[in-house]
Structure 1
C-alpha cells in the first residue's frame, strides 16, 4: 500500500483523466477535434484524481442523478463513471483511495445511493456495490410480419439526426422512471451518449412512436459493419423506451421490418420483456446472454431503506456491516410500515454490498443465503425477508453510463 494524493481535479485536468481511463480500457486518447464534445460530459467538482508525485495515476468521476426505487420514489443518486487506474499503478491501493474519497463526497452531498456499470465485477463488492439489476442480450431474425398485428397501434416516424437528441430526450422524460432501477438522464448523459454520437458521425438512426397523445416511445439503432449490405445487415438497437406496451411493440415491429435487414440485436434489455410473446414465431428470438447490469451502493443505509416500499410480512431484523462508511453499520428492523434502527437481535447479517444487491428486489434474500452471502441467525426469517424485499416485475436500468 502506497500513500496517494487524492483530490478533486480542476477542469483543465479533465482531459488527462479521460485519457487515463481510455488507456486503462485499451482505447486511444481523445482526438483533438473530439475534445469539445467530450469536455461537457464531465461535471466540474465531481472528478477525482489520484497522484503519485506529480503524475496522475488514477481517476473516478460521477454525475448527480436520481434512481427509481420500489414504491415509486426517486432518490438522489451518484452515477459513477470513468473509473480507471494506470496499468503500472494497479494493486497499490489507488482505487481503494479513490473509492473512499468518492463515497465520502457522496455522503456529504446527501446522495443516498451510488450506482455504476462494472467493467470488472470482481472489483466493486469491496466498496459496497452489489449487482442490483440484470439485463439480457437478444437477437431476433427480421421480417415484416415478425410481430403479432394485434399488439400494434399508432405509427412510427424516422427522425432527422439534427432533431434526434431533443426529440428522444423529451420522450424519455415523458415516459418517466417507471421501473425500479431506472435513472434520470443528466445533461452530461445526453451529451455523452447522444449529442456526441450524432456529432461524430456514429451512424445512429432514430425513430419515434406517435400514439393518440403524441410521441410516446423511441428507438435508436445503427447498422453493424457489413461487407455486402445487399445480403442483409444486422441492426444494433442502442436504446428503446416506450410509455405503453403497444408503443414498444410497434417500435420492435418497425426495426424488424426495415428492408435489407437479416436480424436485430439488442443489449441491455429487461429480463422480463415479453418479446417472445410479441413474435409470431418465438423461435425467431435467441437470448445471447443475461448479465449483471446496474450495481447499487447504499450511501445512507437508513435513508435508503426507509424510502422504498416493502412487502407484507412480519418484521425482520437485519444487521449491516459497512467497512467504508461505518456510520451505516448497525441493526435495522424492516417492516411493511418502514425501517428503523434497533438493538434487537439480528435475524440476518450481511455486508452492505449484499444489501445493494437486494435493494431493488431483483434477487431474494434466500438466494444469497443459499450462496453463503448472508448469515442466517433465524431460519424462519428468510421466508419473511423474501416477502418483504419482493417487488412486482424485474428492476431494470435501461441507461448505460
Structure 2
C-alpha cells in the first residue's frame, strides 16, 4: 500500500482538486471561466487532500448545512461531494483514509449527520452511508397534457431574470422551509451554481405567488429538437410550498410552447403531478433512483432529534466500525430515544439505520433483506410503527 498523508488544502490548491475530481469522472480539466464560477462553491477550510510526496492523489470536500429529520427539527449536517482519487492510485487505501478522516472531523466539529449523492452505489455503504431517500423521473407528453378541473388553483406565475438565482429564489426557498424529512439547507455557492447554464440550453426561472406572497419556483431549460427529434423541457429545480403552488408551476410548464416533453428527475415518489392530469397516461414514471445517501455521525444525537410513532419501545443495538463511539444499545419509544443497558431486541449496523432513519424503509423490510438481526420477533412491528413518518423523505437538493 502506498504511503500518503492527508491535510486541508489551501486556496491555491483547490483548482488542482477540482481537476482531479473531474478526471475521476472522466471529464476534462475545468476551464478558466468555469473555475471562476466554481470558486464560489468551494470551501478550502473543509477540503481535504491526500498527498503522495508533493503530488495530490485524492480529495474530498463538504459544506456546512442542516438536515430536516422526522418531526420537523433540523440538525447540523455536512453535504459531502467532490470525492475522487487519481486513477493510478485507486485501491490503495486513499479513499478509505480520506473518508475516515473527513467523517471523524465532521463529527468532532458537531455535525450530527452527513449526506452525499453517489456516482457509484457500491462504494459508500462501506463507510456507513445508507440510501435514505429516493426520487422518480416523471416524463409528461406536453401535447397530451392538461390538468383536470379539480386540480388545485390560485396564484400567479411570473418569469424572473438571472439575478433572481442568488436573490429571489433563496428567499422563497427559506420561506417555504423544510416540508419533508431529508430537506437540507442550501449554501450560497449552491445557488450560484444553479444559475450556471447547462450545455446547449439557457436556464429560465419562474416564481409562483400565492395569497400570502411568493411560495414556490421552478428552474428549467429547453433543448430544441431537430430532424425529427423531440424538444425537451427539463426541470432543474422545483420548490412548492403548497398544492396550489405545485399545480400552478406545473400548469405553467405544460403551457410552454415549442416543447414536446417535460422531464422532471428525482422528484418525490408521492408527488401527485400525474394525478392532476386529465389523461393519466400523459405522464409516465421512467425511473426511480437513490437520492440521499445518509451517514449518521452522532447516533445518540440523531436518534434523539427525531420523533417516533406510537408503539411499544424497542431496544436496538447499533454497530459502527468506522466511528466506534456510536456503537451501543438504544431504547427507542414514543417519548424519544436514549442509550440503555437493556438487552437488544433488534441489531443493525449504522448503514441500515440510515436507511430507516428518515422513514424510507421499514425495519421489517430491512430484516427481510438480512440487514436487521431479530432477537425478538415481536419488536419488528413495533419498530415499524416507531420509525414510520407519514411523509415520504426527499431532499430535492442535488450537489
TM-score, normalized by length of structure 1? 0.96
- Does the 8 Å CA contact 1:43/1:188 hold for their aligned counterparts? no
Q: How many matched pairs?
A: 398
The corresponding residue for 1:217 is 216
Summarize the alignment of residues 71-82 of structure 1 with structure 2, pairs less than 5 Å apart. Answer: 71-82=71-82
Structure 1 CA distance, aligned partners of 2:220 and 2:335? 44
Bigger CA drift: 30-39 or 156-165? 156-165
Residue 132 (structure 1) aligned with residue 149 (structure 2): no
Q: Secondary structure at the match of 2:347?
A: strand
Structure 1 CA distance, aligned partners of 2:269 and 2:55? 43
The corresponding residue for 2:15 is 15
The corresponding residue for 1:3 is 3
**What are the ranges of 5 or more consecutive residues in structure 1 without an aligned counterpart?**
none
Tell me the alpha carbon deviations over residues 181-235 of structure 1, each in whole angstroms, 9 at most, x when there is no partner: 01000112112223x449x995101111111122111111101252259x86110
Bigger CA drift: 162-171 or 56-65? 162-171
The corresponding residue for 1:147 is 147
1:317 to 305, 315, 336: 315
Structure 2 CA distance, aligned partners of 1:82 and 1:259? 37
The corresponding residue for 1:34 is 34
Residues 201 and 235 from structure 1, CA distance in 2 versus in 1: closer, same or farther, beyond 3 angstroms? closer
1:301 to 287, 293, 299: 299
- Does the 8 Å CA contact 1:62/1:79 hold for their aligned counterparts? yes
The corresponding residue for 1:280 is 278
RMSD over equivalenced CA pairs, Å: 1.6
Alpha-carbon shift at residue 36 of structure 1 (Å):
1.4
Structure 2 CA distance, aligned partners of 1:81 and 1:232? 33
Structure 1 CA distance, aligned partners of 2:210 and 2:266? 25
Tell me the alpha carbon deviations over residues 345-383 of structure 1, each in whole angstroms, 9 at most, x when there is no partner: 111111101111111011000001000011111111100
Summarize the alignment of residues 251-400 of structure 1 with structure 2, pairs less than 5 Å apart. Answer: 251-400=249-398
Residue 54 (structure 1) aligned with residue 51 (structure 2): no
Q: Secondary structure at the match of 2:44?
A: coil
Alpha-carbon shift at residue 73 of structure 1 (Å):
0.3
- Does the 8 Å CA contact 2:20/2:58 hold for their aligned counterparts? yes
Alpha-carbon shift at residue 2 of structure 1 (Å):
3.1
Tell me the alpha carbon deviations over residues 271-309 of structure 1, each in whole angstroms, 9 at most, x when there is no partner: 000112110111001111111110111100000000000
Structure 2 CA distance, aligned partners of 1:354 and 1:362? 11
- Does the 8 Å CA contact 1:224/1:235 hold for their aligned counterparts? yes
Structure 2 CA distance, aligned partners of 1:264 and 1:294? 24
Residue 44 (structure 1) aligned with residue 44 (structure 2): yes
The corresponding residue for 2:173 is 172
Alpha-carbon shift at residue 338 of structure 1 (Å):
1.2
Structure 2 CA distance, aligned partners of 1:120 and 1:3? 25
- Does the 8 Å CA contact 2:182/2:395 hold for their aligned counterparts? yes
Structure 2 CA distance, aligned partners of 1:58 and 1:322? 25
- Does the 8 Å CA contact 1:63/1:188 hold for their aligned counterparts? no
Alpha-carbon shift at residue 114 of structure 1 (Å):
0.5
- Does the 8 Å CA contact 1:47/1:61 hold for their aligned counterparts? yes
The corresponding residue for 2:164 is 163
Tell me the alpha carbon deviations over residues 156-180 of structure 1, each in whole angstroms, 9 at most, x when there is no partner: 1111223343221111111101110
Q: Secondary structure at the match of 1:254?
A: helix
Structure 2 CA distance, aligned partners of 1:108 and 1:289? 38
